[in-house]
Amino acid sequence: MHKLTVPISDEDIRALHVGDTVYLNGVIVTGRDAAHKYMIEHFIRHEPTDPEDIALHDKLKALLDGGVIYHCGPVVKKREDGSWTFVAAGPTTSIREEVYEADVIRHFNLKGVIGKGGMGKNTLKACMEQPAVYFHAIGGAATLIAQSVKEVLDVYKLDFGVPEAMWVIRVEDFPVVVTMDSHGNSIHEKVQAESEARLRALLG
C-alpha cells in the first residue's frame, strides 16, 4: 500500500505498478467531458487570449502541475455560509475522455488520472512519457468516497453545471488502485484481450 501526497514526484509515479493500492492526499481537481473539451479548445489547441481564460489557465497550471484530475460528477450541497460540501463523489466512466486525455496530461504535467473503467492506448502512451498513472476508483461507492473529500477549496466553470464544473477539493486517504502504470501495463487492456480470446473460443 502506498500513501501519496499531491503534487506527486516522477519517482513516486515510477514506483507504482498495476495492482498497487494507493491512498491519495492533497488537492485534486474534478473534470469531465465539458471541462476536458474546454481545456483542449481554450488552452491547448489555442493559446488563451481572453483575460478570464488566461487567469483560469494560470490557476490550473499551478494546481495540476504534478497533480491529479478526477473524472467525477459530484453531488454537492451549498451551506448557509456559501461554502460547498460533497455529498457523493463517485467516478465517471473515463473512456469518454480518451480523445482528450493525453494532451491534457502533457500540457498540465499531470501525474494521475482518477476514474473508472480504464482508458485507451493514447492515454497509456502519455502515462509512459510523462510519467503518469491511471487510478481506478470504486464505482458504486460515491458516498463513501465523499468522506475522503475534506474541503471544497474552489469551483471553476460552474456555468457548465454542477456535474461538469471543475471542483478543487482537498482529499485525505482517497482510496484508489493503479490499473494503468508508467511502464506500459494496463489491467484494462489485459482483461479486454483475455475476454476477446475467451469469446472466440466459445464461438468456435
C-alpha–C-alpha distance, residues 168 and 151, integer Å: 9
Give residue-wise pLDDT tens across range 128-181: 999 999 999 987 777 888 999 999 999 999 999 999 999 999 999 999 999 999
Q: Please name the helix (run of DSSP H) or strand (run of DSSP E) that holds residue 4, with its range, or none.
A: strand 2-5
Q: Is 2-203 in CATH node 3.30.565.10?
A: no
Q: Do 131 and 10 touch, CB atoms closer than 8 A?
A: yes
The residues that are catalytic are 36
Q: What pLDDT, on a 0 to 100 scale, did the predictor assign at position 145?
A: 87
Q: Is the pLDDT of residue 35 over 60?
A: yes
Residues ≥6 apart with Cβ < 8 Å to 79: 85
C-alpha–C-alpha distance, residues 200 and 204, integer Å: 6
Q: What pLDDT, on a 0 to 100 scale, did the predictor assign at position 15?
A: 98
Domain boundaries, the chain: 2-203
* C-alpha separations of 73 from 19, 23, 31, 88, 172 in Å: 25, 21, 8, 9, 19
Contacts 24+ apart (CB under 8 A), 106-110: 106/130, 107/39, 107/43, 107/44, 108/60, 108/61, 108/64, 108/65, 108/67, 108/69, 109/64, 109/65, 109/66, 110/64, 110/67, 110/68, 110/69
Q: Is the pLDDT of residue 199 over 50?
A: no
Q: Is the pLDDT of residue 200 over 60?
A: no
21-30 and 166-180: which strand pairing?
antiparallel
C-alpha–C-alpha distance, residues 57 and 153, integer Å: 17
DSSP assignment letter at 204:
-
Q: How confident is the model at residue 204 (pLDDT cuts 50, 70, 90)?
A: low
